[in-house]
A and B are shown apart, each in its own frame.
Chain A
Amino acid sequence: MSRPVAALGVLALVLSGCNGGTVDKHALKRDAEKVGSLASEGGLLANDVSKGRSTRYFARVHAQELARAASDLQDALGKRPTSLGITADVRSLSRLAGKVSRELEQLHLHPTNRTVARSLEQPLEEDVDAADKLAK
């Protein structure tokens, strides 16, 4: 392989965020922040839906986007190798991401149901706290 091609390959890996690599403490913190962010944003959306302040299509589409992102994180964190001593935390974060994804999926399936939305607010808030703990 010529040097420029190799350099481009390295650049592509760097630009892609090297998502297939080992999860170290820094990556765990970043991913925990991401899970917390998705849960927090889902909580805002659920709150708006519960008050009839959103629209059917927006809630359905945006909840699905958030759910997919959480699900992708769950898959990645469930499979990737981890640094020594943080495996339990990484897998725990994976499970948390899965839980967030399932909750957001409920919002996607019931974008106008205020009761469902209200019932999701508390769990999503707890997810944010759990993610915060894992990020520390």
Chain B
Amino acid sequence: MKIFQVALGILAAIGGFVDIGDLVFNVSAGATFGYQLLWVVVIGVVGIVVYSEMCGRVAAVSGKAVFDAVRERVGFKAGLAALISAQVVNLMTLTAEVGGVAICLQLLSGLPYRWLIVIAGVGLLVVVWVTAFEWIERIFGYGGLCLLVFAVAAVKLHPEWGAVGHGFVPHVSAESPLLYTYFAVGLLGAAMTPYEVYFYSSGGVEERWGPKDLGLNRVNAMIGYGLGGFLSFALMITGGALFLERGIEPEFLGSITLGAEVPLGQIGLLLALVGILFAVGGAAIDTLFSGAYNLAQFLGWEWGRYRHPRGAPRFTVTWFVLLVLALGLVLTGVDPVQLTEYAVIFSAVALPLTYIPIFLVANDRTYMREYTNGRLANVLGLLYLVVITIVAVTAIPLLILTNVGQN
């Protein structure tokens, strides 16, 4: 198997799974509840693996990406609702990611934040415009692997391993049940954020996957998102081991990197900053393309990141406009970390609108022929539809009742 094909999964994992939402929610959850919410990450990782495999399979068998299939299968009105919710969440996430890139650059260079927002925007534009997508995958995918420094940091902080193990056993906190549930919902929203599957399935179509690539699809989904989940564990353990006892509420991106600096010094700090820069930058590109994919697929335009920008002009204009909008929003002074919390919670609300159509298409013989969901995919898929529906219904009330996680 060609190694660069697996890079698609790694990019999706680092740039998509571990984005600013995962960084913020995992470390905050650790700082607030220690290791108690590790089991929620497991549920989120299995969920994204199940649904990524499903929509990768849809892409490979039918040649259709998610929004192509959604519009055809659920009709214009329901498709439009899914599109609007996806685009709103996408823009919020993109804004937070661009702001995150600027903060990382500031922590590395000490230059003024506002200038760095513009530099981040121009940098992303240049990278997307001039760099072949295979290289974007490699640069951001492998750069993001620097985040593994948090795994080393987690070990060096000497967490209580018994408590870590206990965190993988599902349980409910009696101490602050509302706040605990808020974090659980946020962690699920961050792990299963919709743009990941839009990006993943569109990538499959562009790489011209066919039924012979179903094995590659499965490996990509499992290894890629599994790696993302491993990093999430490391982030939460770091938050629990370093911040909980000291009563620190990590409110800044810089707070998260302290998790690597304290146990590992300068090298830990620099690796963490570089890892976050690449992961958040990669996620910014994912969300940028996802927004353009969604609109182009829904409206039946030419689309594709492998095409020259002039070969798919409306697709190109869409991602360009999205980038400009996100830059404008960051320049208003909105706090990317706070915006991330809202983006993750709103993405939790949008989960059913994304995953129900995927489940329906993956069971439709017209599209899938003999490759419809097997029993395991259906049982897990249905189970997750119940979970994400509960998550979607409770997300906004929890956001209000906990005052955005402030209790």
Contact = CB atoms under 8 A, between A and B. Distances in A.
B406 A37 contact: no
Interface in A10-45: 11, 14-15, 17, 30, 33-34, 36-37, 40-41, 44-45
B247 interface: yes
B248 A58 contact: no
A28 to B, nearest CB: 14
Of B242, B248, B403, chain A has the most CB atoms within 10 Å of the CB of B248
B404 interface: yes
B261 A58 contact: yes
Interface string B229-267: 000000000000010001111111011011001100110
Contacts of B250: 41
Given A54-B266, A62-B252, A41 B107 contact: no
B399 A65 contact: no
A53 interface: yes
Given A36-B247, A54-B261, A61 B255 contact: no
B248 A62 contact: no
Interface string B386-400: 000000000000011
Given A54-B269, A57-B107, A58-B269, A44 B400 contact: no
Nearest to B407: A30
Secondary structure of the B side of the interface?
helix
Nearest to B246: A40
A11 B107 contact: no
A68 to B, nearest CB: 10
Bin chain A's interface residue count: 20 to 34
A41 B110 contact: no
Contacts of B406: 17, 30
A62 B259 CA distance: 13
B215 to A, nearest CB: 44
Given A30-B406, A44-B246, A48-B262, A57 B108 contact: yes
B258 A44 contact: yes
A43 B254 CA distance: 14
A48 B400 contact: no
B16 to A, nearest CB: 26
Nearest to A43: B246
A44 B108 CA distance: 19
Contacts of A69: 251
A128 interface: yes
A62 to B, nearest CB: 4
Contact of A57 (B110, B248, B252, B342): B110
Contacts of B257: 58
Interface string A55-86: 11110111001100100000000000000000
Interface string B249-292: 11110110110011001100110010000000000000000000
Given A41-B258, A48-B262, A15 B107 contact: no
Contact of B248 (A17, A37, A51, A53): A37
Nearest to B265: A53
B400 A55 contact: no
A37 B247 contact: yes
A52 B265 CA distance: 8
Contact of A56 (B110, B249, B251, B262): B110
A40 B400 contact: no
Contacts of A66: 252
Contact of A62 (B107, B342, B399, B403): B107
Contacts of A14: 400, 403
A90 B310 CA distance: 61
B109 interface: yes
B110 A60 contact: yes
16 contacts: A17-B404, A30-B406, A41-B248, A41-B258, A44-B242, A48-B258, A54-B266, A54-B269, A55-B266, A56-B110, A57-B106, A57-B107, A60-B110, A61-B110, A62-B254, A132-B247
Given A41-B248, A44-B242, A58-B269, 9 more contacts: A33-B249, A34-B249, A41-B250, A41-B255, A53-B269, A58-B107, A61-B107, A62-B254, A62-B255
Closest 4 CB pairs of A and B: A57-B110, A62-B254, A53-B265, A37-B249
